[in-house]
Copies of this chain bind each other. A is one copy, B any other.
Amino acid sequence: MARSPAFLFDLDGTLVDSVYQHVLAWKRALENASIPLSVWRIHRRIGMSGGLFITALARELGCTISDEDLRRIQSDHSQAYAELVAGVRPLPGANALIAYLTDHGIPWAIATSGRRSLTALTLRALDLPPDAPVITRDDVEHAKPDPDLFLAAAARLGMPIGDCLVVGDSVWDILASRRASTLGIGLLSGGYGLEELQSAGAYRVYEDPADLLHHLDEVGVRP
């Protein structure tokens, strides 16, 4: 990494303050399916593939969930999230960080486990150029913690994955970065604890995009 690395950003909890809206939306969807799940357990699954989330959950609860139930829960989550998305705000420094990278010719992309339709709603909270490179669940076979989303984002930028830094708030982002053989930077802004992200293998952990912008020199961006 002689020149500046490129940046592959997760979206929810990393650039926008939307994790708790997703938590509530999953809670409603699971209650509709008579699946009582403590909220903290939902929180710790946000950011991973929705299908994996529900499958893992069913295994933990010792029950089976039919394909039809799975589809209905995911559809109920989407509907509930769409009702809550108006309350979603950009995280501090998110727009400034994106603008800084753009102004300095440093490539960046967004790679999210969310579906394209919900992602479009969430992206309204940010000031992005219309041609912003965004990879969603619809573009890959497997979402996080598989590396596909970040690999697709690097390919979209035309960059080797090893020249890209992954930035995410969840353990699933950091695990996916390691599966992709590149470095992951953790942000606390999604509600995970510092040590959880460090234990998952984060190269560095910052509070939020503003804090990362303030310390870009630590991750290889030269002024």
Contact = CB atoms under 8 A, between A and B. Distances in A.
Nearest to A20: B39
B188 A40 contact: yes
A30 B192 CA distance: 22
A169 to B, nearest CB: 8
Interface in A34-73: 36, 38-40, 43
A208 B36 CA distance: 14
Contacts of A191: 39-40, 43, 191
A190 B44 CA distance: 11
Interface residues of A, number: 25
A103 interface: no
Contact of A39 (B19, B40, B194): B19
Contacts of A89: 36
Given A20-B24, A36-B89, A193 B195 contact: yes
A177 interface: no
Contacts of A20: 20, 23-24, 39, 43
Interface string A174-200: 000000000000001111111110010
9 contacts: A13-B40, A17-B38, A17-B40, A19-B39, A20-B20, A39-B191, A191-B191, A192-B193, A193-B193
Interface of A: 13, 17, 19-20, 23-24, 36, 38-40, 43, 89, 91-92, 188-196, 199, 208
Q: Name the 6 nearest CB pairs between A and B, nearest first.
A: A193-B193, A195-B195, A193-B196, A40-B191, A20-B39, A17-B38
